Amino acid sequence: MGAKKFEQVAQEIKGKSILVANRGIPARRVVRAIRETFQAVPVMTVTEVDRTSPSTAAAQELLLLGADPRAYLNIDLVIKKANLRGIVAIHPGWGFAAEDDSFPQKCEAAGITFIGPSQQAMRMLGNKVEVRKLAKRLGVPVVPGSEGAVDVPTARKVAAELGLPIMLKAEGGGGGRGIYEVYNEADLESAFSKASAMAQASFGNPRLYVEKLLTSVRHIEIQVIADTYGNVFAFDERDCTVQRNHQKLIEITPSPWPGMTEELRERLKEYAAILVKEVGYYSVCTVEFLVDREGTPYLIEVNTRLQVEHGITECRYGVDLVEEQIAIAFGARLRFNKNNTRPLLWSLQCRINCEDPQGGFSPNAGMITRYTTPGGPGIRIDSCIGPGYEFPSQYDSAAALLIAYAPTWKKTLAIMDRGLREYTIGGVKTTIPFHRQIIAHPKFQAGDHDTNFVDNTPELMCYTDLEPEELRLSRLVAEISAKGYNPYVQLGEYRTPFCKRVGTFTPVIPPMDLEAHDIPYPRGDRRAVLDMVRETREKGVIHFVDTTTRDITQSNSGNRFRLAEDRLIGPYLDSCRFFSLENGGGAHFHVAMLANMTYPFSEAHEWNQFAPKTMKQLLIRSTNVLGYKPQPINIMRKTAEKVCEEYDVIRCFDFLNHVENMKPFAEVALSENNKGNIWQPAISLSWAKGFDVPHYLGVADNLITMSAEAAGLSKKKIQRVIILALKDMGGVCPPHFVRELVTTLRKKYPELVLDYHRHYTDGLFVPAVGAAAQAGAHILDVAIGASVRWYGQGEVLSTAAYVEQEFGLSNVLNKKVIRDCNFLLKQIMPFYDRYTAPYFRGIDYDVVEHGMPGGATSSSQEGALKQGYIHLLPYMLQFLAGTRKIVRYHDVTPGSQITWNTAFLAVTGAFKRGGEREVRHLLEVLETVASVTDDKLTPAEREDRLRLYQDSNDAFRQLLLGRYGKLPLGFPPDWVYQSAFGSDWRRAVAERTTHSPLDDLADVDLAEEFKALRTRLKRHPSEEEFVMYLNHPGDALKTIEQRQTFGDANNVPLDVWFEGLEVGREITFSDSKGKPHIMTILHITRPDEGGMSVVRYVLDAEITSHQIKVAEAKAEAGQSIELADRNNEWHVAAPSNGDLWVVHVQPGDFVKRGEELFNISIMKQEKAVLAPRDGMVVRVLKDADYRQDKRMVPVKEGELLVELGPVPRLCSACRHPVTRDEYKFCPFCSQNLMEPEATDGN
């Protein structure tokens, strides 16, 4: 038979049936060539599970192989069926039976053309020992080693010649299997016997040969194609050096390695060609080499089939290897030669597998829920998946081969990076993000890597695998909609899906006044700003700070503005010509994270973009910084540095006025690096005996002295560069007192700028700030009308009008913009008001007696009401008034909580002892003790007063010991200690200290903390995340996690945020990149027995669904299983599919961390599942006791089996158990158990 031309063969094959005996990617690849080149009939083998796989799409017919998933290996079955079908040729693809050398023979016997090499040639090149002999004979270098199989003495001799380390390789092994590395001579003998036994067991052939073990090598291979007439063509090399466990991950042609010279390339091609020619091999094959650092090649093996990575060679040359291979099998002459087949492009392939690289590359079968492929110039995809495809677990994890090609290496890398970014595979974990890590790695880009690259480069594993933000946000919307309330704002189940809605939030945006662009304050230079304030004040101009977005709207997590609403009103506020906008700090910081999933510093940063003109201000709680407990100095400083980047005015208070507690912050704020920052120490103000003008003058002097030290300036100079704030957080100081205080301060420190900050609680906001203004204060804190509530500041325009009309003080405010801003706020506030806690929001003049500040009264009332002590509330307030005369400090965070708890405990304690009668008696004693000197007390009264603090909590006792800092008027009398500490009181008195708590707090190891956070996140945390974590570790992690789960929740419209989305309504929202998305909920199912509801919705054009747990599972849940919430550390799930055979616990049991809860048999491995933490067993969802009833209960991976609950929480104050999870207040002592809301807003 003469040599046929390709076209002849093509004509010959046309319309004939050709079978691909394979599945997945190779089957699809070959089928495509059969169809497009030859117009032949492509037939594909399928097992049952593969019948509907996407790969079958291009096949014209399927050849059914039955249920056995391994039937692709059954050559006899395949040939039998092929014969019956009238198949003329079989292509084996790669993998499965492609290298079984009986395949060509059996095809021939059946009269079918085998599209591949002859059996003879396959044996010559495919057998490692044979090919090695052949190579040596032809002068092709091989890895030095023994001549064929050896015995132990020969092995030892060879080892001595080669030097260690060596490898023992099974003659019958391959593909990285059956290799044993030997590093010590002593191990040789035992390794040999084991390797031999294993080889016998594995391959039915115990024979071993010895090879030198090469370290630091590249894997370089040459693609060869040859016809039956002895024409051979070798292509440029493929570099497959990026591997894991001998599995190739990425292939490149040509090699980007600088050591790959033209000379070496030609040599390798020459070696490959002579091997192929020598044995008369035809079809395609790949000759694989290892190349060491010096460029010395060693032949390792020849693959006698088409390879996975053949596509990159096709892209480099612009050829189709498969059509050529098919034609050759039918006798065509090879068309390729050096003249017509030249390398044109670079090409790079990433193997996209359904594996989780961060989970040890574990295979990941499941439903492909989303599928979007990349495209555009330079991209080729060969895949076997599609949307909705249930990726099977029976086969390997290869999902797609993504190839990029371009004229340069750099462009190829860029296309691949772009392609990987465009590629979306949802529902299963894939290697896509891992490939992006590799592509971005400088060593990879430089070609400077070896076969151990993946193992030796752990940073490749540091990435976050996130789904698109719109999808994550849509799940949040679905969850709020199904529940009817937003669980993340932490207001409880404040509404249901059936409640009447406030309505759609479509605000009317007032036109921005373009004239209002000038701001009188020279932001960025503290000296200039303060000079300007002083000079204008001389001329009768008073200045205003706006607190609308912080102090007014922060305490209750429901009414704390989201960044989304800040974005709306911020630009207006920015043009109102306020001195500064207080938009951060205090409880605001924490609530931003907790309730709004917002990063506080990113928020502040954005503020400076949408409101760039006006200074920003925040509030710091001295040692507690932005949290609730004292922080060591280095955390204070670290936080201060971050704060100074985004805020101009740093207000800092201490509830004891212990000025040393503020010093680390002062040092940072006053440093020369931060010359735009204005340090604003605040005096915490009460109005009571002892807390008089001379006392506060002393505090002011201390603050000035401390600030002067921190700045390294004189006491005189410092007064010109700082502001002193008078912080009347309770709203208790009467106007006459304020007037007197400000007058005295102004007189003593004429250069010092004063800011008066007070709350509305006593109803005297306007006269009091008026008095301050009249007496010479420079700055007053106010807010925009629609946001004003009694617990915050007063209203700006009325206050400005009052001081103008009464005292002739003018201002620089832009009243028109203020009105516009107010109009916008009027549209926003209804949503926040509706879902704010309804407790006490009125005026209470009695605050001047009891001193309970801001939001603390409403949360206190809530506590008393919910615990059934509302009838005792008047007594508690009376107790507060009395105790403030005995133990003296200021009622602001954390002092306000301590005072409240003390009163609550004393009053309820007395009530338990003897009813209201006893309470009244206690209060009489208190009144007497507080008003009479010691010597006038009767012995009975001296005895009775010891009951006053006998029920007090630990925080109160810590305060008495001086652990929060120095008490402003000194320690209380000894009997207080006697009452609070009992018999131990003398030791308590001896232990008291007046040092700053900072003196005793050791610095935190920041590097270690950073490492801990990085480990936890599996990626590098941002600086901001780190500072968040240092201040509120648990809640920061929660916020970061929520951010990863849902994206930026500020993109959700306001009404949807609180009320969810009604079925059928369409909303448009933007993602963080500004791309708009449309979402409509189609249907929300009724909760099933497991309490699960499915929300079906359209997101953009795609219909998808999200399952949400909206109710508790019914007791007798049917077939549906309840999945454990992976983020709930109380949920104990089945660790994998298996059989539950014994459960050791029952509801109500207490378990210790590490105790065995239940045991699952997984393929006869017995997995003890241990309690993840101490707790109480709440539910046991499945029970088993195999030894009793010989029954095992099948369980699914992730199925909830045991739910633990906290060992009833211990109250942080009184250490009594808090028996119900939903309790916000300790039923015993009324300690507020919800930290952020426990604050009074400061």
Partner 1 sequence: MDQGIHLWRAGRTGLAEPLTPDGLAALHPAWAEAVAGHGPWREEGAWLVAATPVDTPVLIAGPCTSTQDVLAALAGELDLPAWTSLLSPVQRTGRGQLRRAWLSPPGNLFVSSLWPTPDKPWATLLPLLAGVAVAVGLRDLGLEAWVKWPNDILVNGQKVVGILVEDRGGRIIVGTGFNCLSSPAAAELRPGHAVPAGSLAAAGLALGPLDLWLEIGPRIRKVVSEVLAQSPQTFVRQAEELLALRGRMVSVLDGETRVTGRIRGLALDGGLRLSREDGEQILYSGHILYL
Contact residues toward partner 1 (CB under 8 A) are 67-69, 175-177, 180, 190-191, 193-194, 197-198, 200-202, 204, 245, 247, 359-363, 393-394, 396, 1136, 1138-1139, 1141-1142, 1154, 1156, 1161-1168, 1170, 1186-1187, 1190-1192
Q: Closest distance between partner 1 and the C-beta of residue 208, in Å? A: 13
What six digits make up the tokens of 576? 């109102």
1117 CB-near residues (< 8 Å, 6+ apart): 1089, 1090, 1181
Q: Closest distance between partner 1 and the C-beta of residue 1187, in Å? A: 6
The full DSSP string for 113-146 is: EESS--HHHHHHHHSHHHHHHHHHHHT--B-SB-
Q: Closest distance between partner 1 and the C-beta of residue 211, in Å? A: 16
Measured between alpha carbons, how far is 142 from 134 in angstroms, rounded to an integer? 10
Phi and psi based region of residue 188 (left: phi greater than 0; alpha: psi -120 to 50; beta: remaining): alpha
Which CB, 451 or 893, lies closer to partner 1?
A: 451
Q: Are 573 and 611 in contact (CB under 8 A)?
A: yes
589 CB-near residues (< 8 Å, 6+ apart): 600, 618, 626, 1031
Measured between alpha carbons, how far is 754 from 647 in angstroms, rounded to an integer? 19
Q: Are 836 and 556 in contact (CB under 8 A)?
A: yes
What is the DSSP code (8-state) at residue 997? G
Q: Closest distance between partner 1 and the C-beta of residue 47, in Å? A: 11
Q: Closest distance between partner 1 and the C-beta of residue 397, in Å? A: 10
Which CB, 823 or 1186, lies closer to partner 1?
A: 1186
Q: How many helices (H) and strands (E) does the chain have?
A: 42, 44
Measured between alpha carbons, how far is 698 from 694 in angstroms, rounded to an integer? 6
* Active-site pick, 29, 132, 238, 305: 305
Distances (CA, A) of 1219 to 603, 619, 1208: 38, 35, 5
Distances (CA, A) of 1078 to 572, 1075, 1096: 29, 10, 14
718, exposed or middle or buried, with CB in 10 Å at 0-12, 13-18, 19+? buried
Q: Closest distance between partner 1 and the C-beta of residue 21, in Å? A: 19
Which CB, 1164 or 1220, lies closer to partner 1?
A: 1164
CB atoms within 10 A of CB 1053: 17
Minimal CA–CA distance to 394: which of 419, 374, 365?
365
Which CB, 39 or 190, lies closer to partner 1?
A: 190
The full DSSP string for 404-432 is: EEESSHHHHHHHHHHHHHH-EEESS--SH
476 CB-near residues (< 8 Å, 6+ apart): 1046, 1047, 1049, 1052
Which CB, 1111 or 1170, lies closer to partner 1?
A: 1170
Distances (CA, A) of 882 to 16, 902, 986: 103, 11, 24
Minimal CA–CA distance to 903: which of 869, 927, 879, 881?
879
How far apart are the two ends of the chain, measured CA to CA in Å? Answer: 96
3-class DSSP state of 45: strand
> Could you confirm whether 305 is annotated as catalytic?
yes
Q: Closest distance between partner 1 and the C-beta of residue 88, in Å? A: 32
CA-angle at 929, arms to 923 and 932, nearest 5°: 130
CA-angle at 379, arms to 376 and 385, nearest 5°: 105
Phi first, then psi: give them for residue 368, nearest 5 degrees: -80, 105
Measured between alpha carbons, how far is 226 from 287 in angstroms, rounded to an integer? 13
Which CB, 662 or 1142, lies closer to partner 1?
A: 1142
What six digits make up the tokens of 907? 């009053």
Which CB, 66 or 612, lies closer to partner 1?
A: 66
Q: Are 620 and 666 in contact (CB under 8 A)?
A: no
Measured between alpha carbons, how far is 1156 from 1169 in angstroms, rounded to an integer? 6
Q: Which stretch of DSSP H or E encloses residue 718?
A: helix 715-721
Please provide the size of the chain in residues.
Answer: 1242
Measured between alpha carbons, how far is 103 from 82 in angstroms, rounded to an integer? 13
Which CB, 156 or 244, lies closer to partner 1?
A: 244
Rg, the chain, Cα only: 39
What is the DSSP code (8-state) at residue 280? T
Q: Are 256 and 236 in contact (CB under 8 A)?
A: no
Catalytic residues: 305
